[in-house]
């Protein structure tokens, strides 16, 4: 930062990114590389007829049109569902999370972190670093991101981290590492990472200045070990993203960026990634290396406005072990620098939320009732007593559900049944049950099942309470369990998003 003029310092990588001349290809399942070209209107060189989202992804990447002309649908949804909103009292791209939004975010953090903990060792590192630390400053100039820069009372200048790399690299530098320890795996759920994104590109949960991201590094001996490790991480990411509720590979498009020398040497590895993905991938090729990595892949979500967002990503870092003086003792008793893999097996948690909301919105455009996965829904069941005399019976049912770890609310307000049902649907409640005299006398309950319903037509299954419990527990098996984030009785729930 230029203290005198208070100007933002732009990394050399960002300057390079603006000048990069790439060649673009599609790599198909047979390992054939098809060069594609964009004339400003259409892309030629590959038959995209069976892959419409790949065409949208390629167009977005090559044209580099990042700014939204209008707000994408998830912005309205994140507010309407009382999850997330902009905070005018903070900097742009720093959001506030209402109880339901904080709940969803926590559940995603917990699930992803649990899966990562089965693979790597969890650490925690500082969120700010000395701007003038020689290794750190060199890395800043090799990463295409803008930094928040702050000054302490001691006149030292610091930057807020944009990932967990800094802390994990400094930690690894001080470790005693043997070749027997490799691959060495560390991860951190960074709450938060910071990037001073340009204001025109900030939008909702998609692109932020403060975000939560699982950041996992593996230190490997060489490309042989590294490729084997990257494939393991690719499969780990599949388990995480499918567990969250995405349909793989249909919900994403694979993009891979290569330095040409790497691609020529490791063509079989590129083909293996695409085959494991199950459909063609977009390839960006550079004749020389501009950044600290020789190869990276990304899983990109294509939203309702045909714009792409990278979630899962991994890469081969060929510079930072030497830059940070990270070494291991090899079998010949000599010190050597490892290669470093950078994995985020879900991408930013906020982007996962954005993708789920956009996916639900697209479902609704096709006539299907939009919803979050049941395990992730702040409220899983809503019970609607028709009259006060039914409340005691409803509370007994609620207790049975709560005892099994199922999140249930009770609409105890003096409203019409139709209004209660409408509001439960607006909240995307997975299971809605109206209870009156008939239901008190019967062994079966009329359950509106949102997952089976359409926007204009409900699907009602008549289930016993035990059958409903069994269905829900099977659906959320193996996922985190957390209490209802708001009061159980609807009458006690404050309205967080009301003012326009």
Q: Look at the chain and report how many structural domains it folds into.
A: 2
My answer on whether 359 and 387 are in the same domain is no
Look at residues 339, 364, 389 and tell me which one is the last residue of a structural domain: 364
Whether 158 and 255 map to the same domain: the answer is yes
Asked if residue 410 has pLDDT above 50, the reply is yes
Domain edge (last residue) among 341, 364, 387: 364
Q: Which residue has the tokens 């400053």?
A: 137
**Residue 143: per-residue pLDDT:** 60
The C-alpha atoms of residue 279 and residue 27 are separated, in whole angstroms, by 9
Query: Residue 57 domain-assigned?
Result: yes
Residue 250: give its domain's CATH number. Answer: 3.30.930.10
Q: Which tokens is 256 given?
A: 């891979």
Same structural domain for residues 285 and 428? no
pLDDT of residue 3 exceeding 50: no
**DSSP assignment, residue 194?**
E
In angstroms, rounded to a whole number, what is the distance separating the alpha carbons of residues 143 and 11?
7
In a domain, 270, yes or no: yes
- Check whether residue 356 and residue 423 sit in a common domain: no
Q: Are residues 155 and 286 in the same domain?
A: yes
Q: Are residues 254 and 398 in the same domain?
A: no
Domain that holds residue 74: 12-364
Q: What average pLDDT does the segment 250-254 reach?
A: 98
Give the model's pLDDT for residue 5: 35
Q: Are both 276 and 157 inside the same structural domain?
A: yes
Residue range 227-236, pLDDT digits in tens: 999 999 999 9
Specify whether 468 is located in the same domain as 394: yes
C-alpha distance from residue 153 to each of 129, 150, 158, 265, 494 (Å):
15, 10, 11, 51, 41
Regarding whether 413 and 306 lie in a shared domain, the answer is: no
The reply to whether 168 falls in a domain is: yes
Of 331, 364, 397, at which residue does a domain stop?
364
Residue-wise pLDDT for 277-292, tens only, equals 999 999 999 998 888 8
Whether 499 is in a domain gets the answer no
Same domain, residue pair 151 and 207: yes
CA 134 to chain centre: 32
- What global pTM score does this model have? 0.93
The answer as to whether 3 is a domain residue is no
The confidence score (pLDDT) of residue 12 equals: 57
Nearest to 244 by CA among 107, 416, 380: 107
Q: Are residues 71 and 185 in the same domain?
A: yes
In a domain, 148, yes or no: yes
Structure tokens, 371: 């919803």
Q: What's the average model confidence in pLDDT over 353-358?
A: 98
Cα–Cα distance, 81 to 494 (Å, whole number)? 13
Q: Is residue 466 part of a domain?
A: yes
Residues 355 and 487 in one domain: no
Whether the per-residue pLDDT at 14 is higher than 90: the answer is no
Assess if residue 498 is contained within a domain: no
Residue 195 has a pLDDT of 86
pLDDT for 313 equals 97
């Amino acid at each position: 930062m230029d203290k005198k003029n208070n100007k933002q310092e732009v990394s050399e990588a960002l300057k390079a990114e603006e000048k990069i001349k790439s060649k673009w290809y599609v790599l198909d399942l047979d390992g054939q590389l098809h060069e594609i070209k964009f004339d400003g209107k259409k892309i030629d060189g590959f038959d995209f007829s069976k892959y419409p989202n790949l065409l949208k992804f390629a167009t977005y990447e090559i044209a580099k049109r990042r700014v939204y002309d209008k707000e994408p649908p998830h912005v309205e949804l994140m507010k309407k569902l009382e999850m997330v909103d902009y905070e005018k009292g903070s900097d742009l791209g720093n959001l506030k999370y209402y109880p339901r939004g904080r709940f969803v975010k926590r559940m995603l953090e917990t699930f992803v972190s649990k899966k990562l903990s089965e693979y790597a060792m969890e650490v925690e590192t500082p969120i700010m670093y000395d701007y003038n630390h020689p290794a750190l400053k060199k890395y800043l100039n090799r990463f295409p991101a803008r930094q928040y820069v702050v000054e302490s009372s001691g006149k030292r200048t610091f930057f807020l981290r944009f990932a967990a790399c800094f802390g994990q690299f400094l930690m690894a530098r001080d470790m005693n590492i043997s070749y027997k320890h490799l691959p060495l795996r560390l991860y951190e759920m960074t709450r938060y990472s910071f990037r001073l994104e340009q204001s025109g590109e900030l939008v909702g949960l998609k692109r932020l200045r403060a975000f939560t991201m699982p950041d996992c590094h593996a230190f490997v001996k060489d490309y042989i070990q590294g490729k084997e490790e990257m494939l393991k991480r690719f499969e780990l990411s599949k388990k995480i993203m499918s567990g969250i509720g995405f349909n793989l590979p249909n919900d994403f498009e694979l993009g891979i960026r290569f330095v040409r020398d790497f691609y020529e040497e490791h063509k079989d590895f590129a083909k293996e990634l695409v085959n494991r993905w199950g459909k063609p991938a977009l390839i960006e090729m550079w004749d020389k290396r501009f950044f600290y990595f020789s190869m990276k892949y990304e899983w990109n979500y294509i939203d309702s406005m045909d714009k792409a967002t990278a979630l899962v990503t991994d890469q081969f870092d060929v510079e930072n072990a030497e830059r940070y003086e990270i070494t291991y003792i090899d079998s010949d008793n000599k010190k050597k620098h490892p290669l470093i893999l950078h994995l985020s097996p879900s991408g930013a948690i906020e982007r996962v939320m954005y993708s789920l909301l956009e996916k639900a919105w697209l479902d609704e455009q096709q006539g299907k009732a939009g919803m979050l996965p049941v395990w992730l829904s702040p409220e899983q069941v809503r019970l609607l007593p028709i009259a006060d005399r039914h409340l005691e019976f409803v509370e007994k049912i609620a207790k049975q559900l709560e005892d099994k770890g199922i999140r249930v609310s009770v609409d105890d307000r003096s409203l019409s049944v139709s209004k209660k049902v409408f509001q439960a649907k607006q909240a995307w409640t997975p299971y809605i049950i109206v209870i009156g005299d008939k239901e008190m006398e019967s062994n079966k309950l009329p359950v509106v099942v949102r997952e089976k319903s359409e926007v204009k037509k409900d699907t009602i299954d008549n289930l016993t309470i035990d059958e409903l419990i069994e269905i829900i527990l099977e659906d959320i098996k193996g996922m985190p369990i957390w209490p209802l984030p708001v009061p159980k009785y609807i009458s006690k729930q404050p309205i967080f998003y009301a003012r326009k």
